[in-house]
Structure 1
Amino acid sequence: MTIGKPATSSLGSSFSRRSVLGGIGTGAMLAGMPGLAFAKELGSSFPGLTKLINQYVADKKVAGMMAMIGFGQAKAQVISAGSLKLGGDKLVGADTLWRMYSQTKPVTGMAAMMLVEDGLLSLDQPLSDIFPEFADMQVLVDPEGALEDVVPAKAPITIRHLQTHTAGLGYTIISKGPIQKAYLAAGLTPGRVSRSPIPGVDPGAPTPDIMTFVKRLSELPLVYQPGSKWSYSLSHDVLSAVIEKVSGKPLDQFLQERMFGPLGMNNMFYHVPADRAVDLADNYAPFAGSLIPIDPGATSIFLDKPPFAFGSTGLVGSAGDYDKFLQMLLGFGKLGDVQVMKPETAKLGMSNLMPDTVDTRGTWVAKQGFGAGGRSGLGTADSPAGTFGWGGAAGTAAFVDTVRGLRAGGYTQYIPSNSYPFQSDFPKYVYADLDGSAPVDTGKTSP
């Protein structure tokens, strides 16, 4: 059984900023093989997913892969296979560190919701209250057109817009034309991939700090009118700046004090310590049926301190730590005896926060809702009630289902995430086993 469809085009043509950092499609969301996938803690209740993970590793589509699935506050079941690098001896396990990339966004989103709970922010508060430079923004007439061809914004950017990618901001992995070039020139590229140059990927000039990042962003036109269109964006990096300005603490410090520390998330990093390099999985690019290492754990770019705590893409951590975050969401702000936010705050953050005026047609969230950094269920067949989650550029995926009391995360490391359907179809695999049917692999990739 062939699972997925490896990239077969040339390395140069298959790589772009969108393919490297985008393609987030989560729906909410044996010979020489160093480790065999097996289900632990709850028994083999996910046979289809276990078989699929085994197959990915057996076919050498990935070096290693893991899933953690739990109900309520109970201990998660772990399914794991493979090693941290191809041909390596260190097996994927509880201490393995994964590049979370855009799975950082729901974490940042919930941090902002804590400030809403504190009364220091409100969802419909204009961003210009906090950063006056975002008042009187200009909007491109054509999203791919000349930077001089603009009209005034019809409405202010709000915190709600930032949470839901409806602020009208651009993204180098999505935007095209002059605005993309302007973002690159200004260093508005928060994602880190590799120390080595990657064909087709322009990393842009580095931005020295978060406040410079925000100032440069405010000087460029918006791509869409605020509140009019869902468009994947830099909004959660702006939220990183908002959190720092309002709380007086950088995002990483705020998260450590308000979330990571209280929840015991001790294996979640913006800057991976040198002594944890041995636990960091290698990141690969599928190419012509092989895996090309683009960020080995031993020399990873994530061992360098970032210019600032990227609210959109910066976290590296263990599956177990991210499971604690999911447990907290499933417990509506509570994990065990620790309450980090009120139930109503957590429920609001996981609900559909998008304004009714937003057009989602043709986007990754068509017929979906969007909450504080992740997809939100609308209560339809396409968008189940109580679901919330998002994925990451290196093939990871995570979601909660508050109706079934379910939490699930899938972890591996390959870029672009749409090289295989693991990320986009991960929820399908989980629900297929729960419902007693075998997961169906279509061979299709995510958006």
Structure 2
Amino acid sequence: MMLRRHLWALALLPLVACAGQREAPVAAQPSRQSVLDAALRQQVESGKVAGISAVVVRADGEVLYQGAQGPRVPGAAEPIGPDSLFRLASMTKPVTSVAVMTLVEDGRLRLEDPLAKHLPEFRDLRIRETNGRLVPARQPTIRDLLRHMGGFSYNFLNVPGIVEAYAREGVDDGLAAPGRSTRDNMRRLARAPLQAQPGTLWAYSLATDVLGAVVERVSGKPLDAYIQERIAGPLRLTSFAFHVPESERARMVTAMHPVDGALRPIRSGERIPYPLSRGTWVSDPERAFSRTAYPSGGAGATATIGDYARFTRMLLNGGELDGVRILRAETVAAMTRGQTGGLPVNLRGPGYDFGYGFSVVTDPAAAKTRQPAGTYGWGGIYGTGFFIDPVNRLAIIVMTQTATNGGPAANEVREAFYGTMVQ
């Protein structure tokens, strides 16, 4: 299914010639297209990523940049194109967060609801103290889960005392275990301790998978069916899926990771290093095609870059796109401003806060970025990233399928784009 033609129509800023001194004419500045094409090409030629695609789009659909470099399958002739499918990994989280907020707007869910109200298996949560003692925890709320303050973690974050408990219980990070059900993974997670009292620590985690389970219990529908009904269908995100049909395999970009200085395909069940925590994560690229894998609200979806661009445009337009309203404008505003009370957001660093499903730039200088304050977004472990800039009314989406290296690549392409903006 090809994307609508107008999405890919290039609408680049005109080439502006610099005024030079008479005796030494100055060459025209490179066009945005050439600058960003070079930035993508450098990522591939340097060996950081196997392939990369990027789109910059305004809220009204005007495309400021679209380009790709590298093949869909390493060693093959077919390039990454607008119809290529990417494993979104944690770029699934904002979609699930929007699904949660539709239920809040419908009055079927409250931000202050305790988790156990909807998932009783979490009623006896405990905290592991520094001395190893387990003590009762207060109930995390839906608000806590949306802002990653519920006390949960991930295996790959390698938190002492927690990673061992997750391994013992067989908790899946939403990236493997193709035969696991949502209910089974939630039961395993509920038996493991929390790393902190809910509401006291920002800690990236399986909280959005838990929210996906909440959506299922409250709506009475599987998460993928609910998202199709309330978000993907109305927005015409025709590629968005948690279970990719085998007939669409030829569109999927190969998942890669660096090994001994070279990139190679990820094997199912392979344990991949996560340098930030000195931990590892278990990847199964085939999970995307499994009919039995639970729809991980935190990591399980796939889509084309163009369909994800439509999702970002809905947010840029205050919850509405092409006459279809998904959320109220005030709901989007609440989701995309800081909600932690100023707690450190350690995966982003200084200059960031976190809202309901998104990191938010609060201090561009501290964050060492050209993004204006108020820009929000997130990324995924397979090397995807997006950045929504409400000041300039645009969104930047960058997708690779190169684990670990892809995140920094997205940041570098983003900064290259801001370098082309007229000051």
TM-score per shorter chain, which class? 0.7 to 0.9
1:75-224 residue pairs with structure 2 within 5 A? Answer: 75-76=62-63, 77-142=65-130, 146=132, 149-153=133-137, 155-192=138-175, 208-224=180-196
How far is the alpha carbon of 1:84 from its aligned partner? 0.3
Aligned to 1:29: none
Structure 1 residues 295 and 89, CA gap change in structure 2 (3 angstroms):
farther
Q: Secondary structure at the match of 1:263?
A: coil
Once residues 401 and 359 of structure 2 are traced to their aligned partners in structure 1, the CA distance between those partners, rounded to angstroms, is 22
How far is the alpha carbon of 1:174 from its aligned partner? 0.9
Instruction: Say if 1:263 and 1:338, in contact at 8 Å, map to a contact too.
Output: yes
Instruction: Say if 2:232 and 2:238, in contact at 8 Å, map to a contact too.
Output: yes
2:270 aligned with 1:287: no
Aligned to 1:303: 289
Instruction: Say if 2:183 and 2:213, in contact at 8 Å, map to a contact too.
Output: yes
Instruction: Say if 1:188 and 1:207, in contact at 8 Å, map to a contact too.
Output: no
Unaligned 5+ runs, structure 1: 1-38, 194-204, 437-447
Percentage of matched positions with identical amino acids: 34
Q: Alignment RMSD, CA only? A: 2.3
Instruction: Say if 1:137 and 1:152, in contact at 8 Å, map to a contact too.
Output: yes
Once residues 331 and 286 of structure 2 are traced to their aligned partners in structure 1, the CA distance between those partners, rounded to angstroms, is 36
Instruction: Say if 1:40 and 1:79, in contact at 8 Å, map to a contact too.
Output: no
The counterpart of 2:49, out of the listed 45, 48, 62, is 62
Once residues 53 and 119 of structure 2 are traced to their aligned partners in structure 1, the CA distance between those partners, rounded to angstroms, is 41
Instruction: Say if 2:374 and 2:390, in contact at 8 Å, map to a contact too.
Output: yes
2:330 aligned with 1:344: yes
Aligned to 1:359: 343
How far is the alpha carbon of 1:136 from its aligned partner? 4.6
Report Cα offsets for 1:262-320 as digits up to 9, x if no partner: 10101111111111111101111122332111159xx8342222431101110111001
Once structures 1 and 2 are overlaid, which stretch shifts more, 47-56 or 322-331?
A: 47-56
Once residues 327 and 84 of structure 2 are traced to their aligned partners in structure 1, the CA distance between those partners, rounded to angstroms, is 28
Q: Secondary structure at the match of 1:421?
A: helix
What amino acid is the match of 1:367? G
Instruction: Say if 1:268 and 1:317, in contact at 8 Å, map to a contact too.
Output: yes
Once residues 360 and 207 of structure 1 are traced to their aligned partners in structure 2, the CA distance between those partners, rounded to angstroms, is 36
Aligned to 1:247: 219
Q: Secondary structure at the match of 1:270?
A: coil
Report Cα offsets for 1:310-339 as digits up to 9, x if no partner: 011101110011001101111111111111
2:353 aligned with 1:369: yes
Q: Secondary structure at the match of 1:385?
A: coil
2:328 aligned with 1:328: no
2:406 aligned with 1:425: no
How far is the alpha carbon of 1:137 from its aligned partner? 2.4
Aligned to 2:35: 48
With normalisation by structure 2, the TM-score equals 0.83
What amino acid is the match of 1:372? Y
Instruction: Say if 2:345 and 2:352, in contact at 8 Å, map to a contact too.
Output: no
What amino acid is the match of 1:346? V
Q: Secondary structure at the match of 1:407?
A: strand
Once residues 336 and 391 of structure 1 are traced to their aligned partners in structure 2, the CA distance between those partners, rounded to angstroms, is 26
Aligned to 2:19: none
Instruction: Say if 1:397 and 1:423, in contact at 8 Å, map to a contact too.
Output: yes
With normalisation by structure 1, the TM-score equals 0.79
How far is the alpha carbon of 1:53 from its aligned partner? 0.6
How far is the alpha carbon of 1:102 from its aligned partner? 0.7
Instruction: Say if 1:207 and 1:213, in contact at 8 Å, map to a contact too.
Output: no
Once residues 84 and 259 of structure 1 are traced to their aligned partners in structure 2, the CA distance between those partners, rounded to angstroms, is 28
Q: Secondary structure at the match of 2:383?
A: coil
Once structures 1 and 2 are overlaid, which stretch shifts more, 122-131 or 207-216?
A: 207-216
How far is the alpha carbon of 1:186 from its aligned partner? 2.3
Aligned to 1:225: 197
| Higher relative contact order, structure no. (Cα contacts within 8 Å, ≥ 6 residues apart) | 1
Once residues 108 and 162 of structure 1 are traced to their aligned partners in structure 2, the CA distance between those partners, rounded to angstroms, is 12
What amino acid is the match of 1:376? V
Once residues 64 and 380 of structure 1 are traced to their aligned partners in structure 2, the CA distance between those partners, rounded to angstroms, is 29
Instruction: Say if 1:171 and 1:233, in contact at 8 Å, map to a contact too.
Output: yes
Unaligned 5+ runs, structure 2: 1-7, 13-30, 269-284
Aligned to 1:9: none
Instruction: Say if 1:187 and 1:207, in contact at 8 Å, map to a contact too.
Output: no
How far is the alpha carbon of 1:423 from its aligned partner? 2.9
Instruction: Say if 2:305 and 2:399, in contact at 8 Å, map to a contact too.
Output: yes
What amino acid is the match of 1:374? F
Once structures 1 and 2 are overlaid, which stretch shifts more, 376-385 or 251-260?
A: 376-385
What amino acid is the match of 1:80? A
Aligned to 1:443: none
How far is the alpha carbon of 1:168 from its aligned partner? 0.6
Q: Secondary structure at the match of 1:300?
A: helix
Structure 1 residues 151 and 136, CA gap change in structure 2 (3 angstroms):
same
How far is the alpha carbon of 1:353 from its aligned partner? 2.3
The counterpart of 1:236, out of the listed 208, 218, 221, is 208
Report Cα offsets for 1:193-239 as digits up to 9, x if no partner: 6xxxxxxxxxxx77732122222222221111111111111100000
Equivalences, count: 377
Once structures 1 and 2 are overlaid, which stretch shifts more, 114-123 or 325-334?
A: 114-123
Report Cα offsets for 1:90-112 as digits up to 9, x if no partner: 11111000111111111111111
Once residues 362 and 308 of structure 1 are traced to their aligned partners in structure 2, the CA distance between those partners, rounded to angstroms, is 28
Q: Secondary structure at the match of 1:285?
A: strand
